[in-house]
Structure 1
Amino acid sequence: MRARSTVSDPSSPRRLAATLLGAALVVTACAPGGPGAVSPNEIPALEQRLAQAPNDGDALLRYAAALYAAGRCDTATVVAQRGMGVKPQDALGPLVVGRCLEQDQRLDEAHVVYARYMTSYADRPGAAGIRSRQGIVRRERAIAAARDALAREAELAQVPAEPTTVAVLPVQVVGDSAYQPLSRGLAEIMTTDLALLERFRMVERLQVGALLGELNLTQAGRVDPATAVRVGHLVRAGSMVQGLATIPPRGTTRLEAAVVRSDGEVTAPARQDGAVRDLLKMEKQLVVEIARQLGYELSAAELEMVLENGTQNLAAFLAYSRGLLAEDRGDYRSAAAFYAEAAQADPNFDVARDAYEAATVSVETSLSLPSAITTLSSVEVVAPGVGTELPLGGVLTTTVTDIAATQSETTAPTSTQVTSGAQTSASQPPPTITVLGTPVAATGVVRIIFRLP
């Protein structure tokens, strides 16, 4: 989760160019010749084309897409894998293979396909589509794992937990209600900070959240030590980290955490006090103390990695935390807006940018036909302004804005509309996302639709 600059022009770090969310630009799947939709009717022609040029990567991937649209996943997977051998950087191949695996409920295998692509091509156009599917699969796997663990609870209770496996529970936030979303965000950043230390295997926040959801504990606040031990057994964690953030409207903010071991032992809480504006600095120091309670002392290099992880902009982190909350309840529209707000508040908060792109694809996917695969054409971010309507269909609006240190320095955007030439759903006006409050960022979307005959 290290924040890194993704500004297009290094000589002008405040200039971010983008395409507004919206544009459901229907394009061909890797084929030349302009916009269009892949149809099973193309299968004979594609087979003839491949007979003449069997290693044509574009044709192979288009053929795989057509087979997928025809419901022929077995053959589509084989063809997509051939296409991936020729064009491994193209996201369409992994998307076809992964979606077929998802349809067959082979979620672990789908996750491996997506993860393998992201390891090598996370910065390629289309990676956001993979990231979106990866997040959806990760969530489905977490729910399935939670239900399986509960069904086997008596059995798991007899198996010793892994001593180096650690899970972080949602942080209880008391005081100013405006900071309640930090419960998710602080748990996430603590998890990723500790994951930087190779000593520990961290349980994903989603997995912990899914289990708490199955136990109906998501709204229960801080769980008692006995419940923490139970959760630890269910996720096979030898240690659970329980955090508490006290953020009064005025006065000193306190961040503390204790480790609950699998035998029920609870360590004395580690504490950090300070001003609320320094909350994220306090979190870093708390992670060092948590690691110490877990029996590990950070090296200088590990400490540097932890300090560089994430953002130190509290407004950006709060918006990101709101995005996590929205995404956890399946509200990808709101999540996209919050992640965009976070990316605008801190343009170097790369994790927020990635989450925004994935949530945007998820919004588009929810509006698509079942035979559609959605990816992203642009990775740039812009602040279109307060109350901006972002149309989802038919039009691609590009905007360039100079994002300065204060809102008063932001220049007026200039816009150009480009008609896509294709409608994704007949007889229905394109839906919109209305963003109110803080200016948000947005980016262009490419929806690859495989039309059924």
Structure 2
Amino acid sequence: MRTSSRFICAIPLIAVAILGGCATAAPSGDAITRLQVRRDAQPRAAAVHRSLGIALYKADRIPEARAALSEAMRLDSRDGATALYLGLAAEKQGDLAAAREAYVSYLRHGRTRGVRSQLQARLATLQRRELEQAAKTAVASEATIGTSAGHPRVVAVMPFRFTGSDSSLRPLERGMAELVTTDLARSSALTVVERARMQALLNELALQQGSGDPATAVRAGRMLQAGRLVQGGILLVGAEQLRVDAAIVDVPTSAAVGGAAGDDRLGALFDLEKRLVLDLFTSLGVTLTAAERRAFDQRPTRSLAAFLSFSQGLMAEDAGDFDAARRFFDNAFRIDPGFGAAAQRAATAADIVAGEQVTTETVEAQAATGTEGQVAAAAVQGTVLATASSAEMASTLSSVVNDVNTTQSGTAAAGTTTVGGGNPNPSAPGRDPVSEGSGNDSPTTRAAKVVIVIGIPGTTPTILPAGRP
């Protein structure tokens, strides 16, 4: 089934921002003190730590808030409100990895649909920012990182350099690098640096697009802890003939230690790339298993037009224009509906565009409309709102089932609960006066089916007719 890319409109986020005034105000000092006293009295109560953490967050005491919320998460890892505010606190501290982990937890356990949509988009943006943050750290630590040699089985692939009169083929610089990266990663013997990670570092080093400075490339390889670097060029000969060269560079010594080359018609680009990578495997001393070879033989698309549009999307992505990237990826998917990588990239680019509009304030304002808003409102008042986490719901459901799963004598299975008015004598079998009067009160074994419908917030449950599964 053809699935179009996900694109989140900015209008709902603007509406949320307008509603931001409805979000809970900062708590008083007395409210926080009451929660601290209760925490000391109930050190293992996850809900208390959660409410204290939210109150501290609202008071802009972020380090303390994060500590309290981390403890709440340790005590109950399936509480949505805890995960949400832990992520918000971590993001305010600039700890993007911790924020992402907490937001992923919210997507599993959180209940407010609008918050889930915003965080889904925000995660793509955070992942991009994590790459940028890692690149800055690598550059800042270059003197230290550069002294340790990368493992020869760790490979980084640089963008190729295009030379030719047809500028419409220049995006193949990115597209070819993506194909080579994907195919080299088919081997479990190699660890291949992700193209996005490589590009983030190149951007940080201010490497001009397509310049291919060999010294800068090796420098990037060292900072990525790669032992081998693949870099090459694409030459257009005439109007339809391509020549592709790729060199394998030993990063510690900057010496070429292998490579591959080939030429073919433009229309045979994908076959040419496969031959090139097989030669690279040989130079790297790698032999593919049968399963790896089958995976390697797969092609993301057989449409050159779709691949060119995909490559344009990669160029736009590397330039930071994710809206344009989304359009190019969508076009590639339109040309070839079987081009799964294009659809995935389009969805990611759309999420990044939407995620850039999401802030901790818009997320919190959206949360105010759901269960988490009720929890936060109570926390600001210095009280604890007991909500059912996934674990608590499971326990409650088990209790309900035990209550209605009676024995044939009519006594509750747990032996401690009666149903309806109950039998005043729990040791005696329950009697139904109507069936007893008709002589049909024989204690025969009967089977019954109980359907418990738990509605998801924001949806209307469907009740099936009797007898339907």
TM-score bucket of the superposed structures, by smaller chain: 0.5 to 0.7
Give the superposition deviation at 1:131. Answer: 3.0
CA contact (8 A) 1:238 1:261 kept: yes
Following the alignment from structure 1 to structure 2, what is the Cα–Cα distance between the partners of residues 119 and 259? 43
Following the alignment from structure 1 to structure 2, what is the Cα–Cα distance between the partners of residues 74 and 299? 50
1:26-425 → structure 2 map (5 Å cutoff): 39-41=23-25, 71=60, 73=62, 79=69, 96-110=85-99, 127-149=120-142, 152=143, 155-175=144-164, 176-219=166-209, 221-224=211-214, 226-248=215-237, 250-262=239-251, 263-308=253-298, 310-368=300-358, 371-373=361-363
Give the superposition deviation at 1:232. Answer: 2.6
Cα separation, partners in 2 of 1:99 and 1:257, compared to 1, 3 Å: farther
Q: Which residue of 2 aligns with 1:24?
A: 11
Give the superposition deviation at 1:169. Answer: 1.0
Give the superposition deviation at 1:252. Answer: 1.5
CA contact (8 A) 1:128 1:354 kept: no
| Counterpart secondary structure, 2:261 | strand
Give the superposition deviation at 1:156. Answer: 4.1
More strand by share: 1
Task: Name structure 1 gaps, 5 residues minimum.
Answer: 1-12, 30-34, 49-53, 375-453
| Counterpart secondary structure, 1:40 | coil
Any idea what the Cα deviations from partners look like across 1:300-320, whole Å, max 9, x if unmatched?
Answer: 211222233633333333223
CA contact (8 A) 2:175 2:308 kept: yes
Give the superposition deviation at 1:64. Answer: 8.4
Q: Which residue of 2 aligns with 1:422?
A: none
Following the alignment from structure 1 to structure 2, what is the Cα–Cα distance between the partners of residues 18 and 260? 38
Give the superposition deviation at 1:261. Answer: 1.0
After TM superposition, the structure 1 stretch with the greater mean CA deviation from structure 2, 352-361 or 256-265, is 352-361
| Counterpart secondary structure, 1:293 | helix
Please, what is the CA RMSD of the aligned residues? 4.6
Following the alignment from structure 1 to structure 2, what is the Cα–Cα distance between the partners of residues 215 and 177? 25
| Counterpart secondary structure, 2:325 | helix
Give the superposition deviation at 1:73. Answer: 4.5
| Counterpart secondary structure, 1:258 | strand
Normalised by the size of structure 2, how large is the TM-score? Answer: 0.59
Cα separation, partners in 2 of 1:350 and 1:19, compared to 1, 3 Å: closer
Cα separation, partners in 2 of 1:156 and 1:306, compared to 1, 3 Å: same
Question: Does 1 or 2 have the higher relative contact order (CA < 8 Å, sep 6+)?
Answer: 1
Normalised by the size of structure 1, how large is the TM-score? Answer: 0.61
Following the alignment from structure 2 to structure 1, what is the Cα–Cα distance between the partners of residues 263 and 333? 28
Any idea what the Cα deviations from partners look like across 1:71-130, whole Å, max 9, x if unmatched?
Answer: 45457655588689979697x87665445323323344446557889999xxx9764542
Cα separation, partners in 2 of 1:345 and 1:227, compared to 1, 3 Å: same
Following the alignment from structure 1 to structure 2, what is the Cα–Cα distance between the partners of residues 141 and 19? 27
CA contact (8 A) 1:195 1:202 kept: yes
Following the alignment from structure 1 to structure 2, what is the Cα–Cα distance between the partners of residues 369 and 137? 16
Give the superposition deviation at 1:21. Answer: 5.2
Cα separation, partners in 2 of 1:71 and 1:261, compared to 1, 3 Å: same
Cα separation, partners in 2 of 1:308 and 1:177, compared to 1, 3 Å: same
Following the alignment from structure 1 to structure 2, what is the Cα–Cα distance between the partners of residues 249 and 81? 66
After TM superposition, the structure 1 stretch with the greater mean CA deviation from structure 2, 345-354 or 71-80, is 71-80
Following the alignment from structure 1 to structure 2, what is the Cα–Cα distance between the partners of residues 306 and 63? 53
CA contact (8 A) 1:194 1:287 kept: yes
Cα separation, partners in 2 of 1:307 and 1:55, compared to 1, 3 Å: farther
Give the superposition deviation at 1:183. Answer: 1.8
Following the alignment from structure 2 to structure 1, what is the Cα–Cα distance between the partners of residues 295 and 108? 19
Structure possessing the higher radius of gyration over alpha carbons: 2
Following the alignment from structure 1 to structure 2, what is the Cα–Cα distance between the partners of residues 266 and 190? 18
Following the alignment from structure 1 to structure 2, what is the Cα–Cα distance between the partners of residues 42 and 18? 39
Following the alignment from structure 1 to structure 2, what is the Cα–Cα distance between the partners of residues 104 and 69? 14
Give the superposition deviation at 1:269. Answer: 3.5
Following the alignment from structure 1 to structure 2, what is the Cα–Cα distance between the partners of residues 67 and 353? 42
